[in-house]
Amino acid sequence: MEVKVYNIAGEETGRTIVLADDIFGIEPNEHAIYLDVKQYLANQRQGTHKSKERGEISGSTRKIKRQKGTGTARAGSIKAPQFKGGGRVFGPKPRDYEFKLNKKQKQLARKSILSAKLSENRIKIFEDFNMEVPSTKKMIEINNKLKMNDRRTLIVIPDANKNVYLSSRNLQTVDVVTVSELTTYKVAKASNVLMSEKSIDVLSNILN
């Protein structure tokens, strides 16, 4: 399918680019998107949560009162969970939340989310550009001209560009990634996706 190409001034260049139907024109698989997003978020978890159980609490093991005749329940240790400062029952322990996902499943998820965004007119292709020096002000102007300033925007570039990254890192609604860093989660989270012309070719090579 053909889409228009814009410049960084937000104007149509009069040119079009052909997007591969097997990447941008498939029927979105919602379950694949769900699994890929779930894996991404799970892999971000440190899993270092920990609470002390009864055997790990420091304190006396003396029986705190006699067994019978008190009119209350039996109690054998001040470290029991029902007492203040006692150990926690079935508390969290360090664990690894990561899980594997089939490579083809991940590719299907990325193709699905890109197809869904394009069908909603949430993807724009713009001419390749470069910044000689970092400039947050210029990045704000680009967003304003492309009418993306009030929504979360994901800018996809073909390879690492330090000046473009530094220009956008102070903007809460703008995220810049290279094609190799593009994930289903980041595309799904963004309201609009801006992709440079060169990034389309790199993406096609990765997903095919």
In this structure, the strands spanning 153-157 and 12-18 are unpaired
Assign a CATH topology to domain 2-46+98-207.
Answer: Ribosomal Protein L4; Chain: A; (3.40.1370)
Q: According to the model, what pLDDT value does residue 61 have?
A: 85
What DSSP designation does 142 have? H
What six digits make up the tokens of 127?
A: 């001419």
Q: According to the model, what pLDDT value does residue 147 have?
A: 67
* Regions of the chain short of the pLDDT cut 70: 147-150
Q: What percent of the chain has pLDDT over 70?
A: 98
Domain ranges for the chain, please list them.
2-46+98-207, 51-91
Q: According to the model, what pLDDT value does residue 148 have?
A: 65
Whole-prediction pTM: 0.81
Rounded to 5 degrees, what angle do the CA atoms 167, 180, 2 make?
90
Q: According to the model, what pLDDT value does residue 149 have?
A: 58
pLDDT, one tens digit per residue, over 146-204 is 766 567 889 999 888 888 888 888 888 889 999 999 999 999 999 989 898 889 989 98
Q: According to the model, what pLDDT value does residue 71 have?
A: 93
Rounded to 5 degrees, what angle do the CA atoms 201, 197, 146 make?
145
Distance CA 144, CA 165 (A): 18
Q: According to the model, what pLDDT value does residue 172 have?
A: 85
Distance CA 44, CA 47 (A): 9
Handedness of CA 154, 157, 158, 159 (dihedral sign): negative
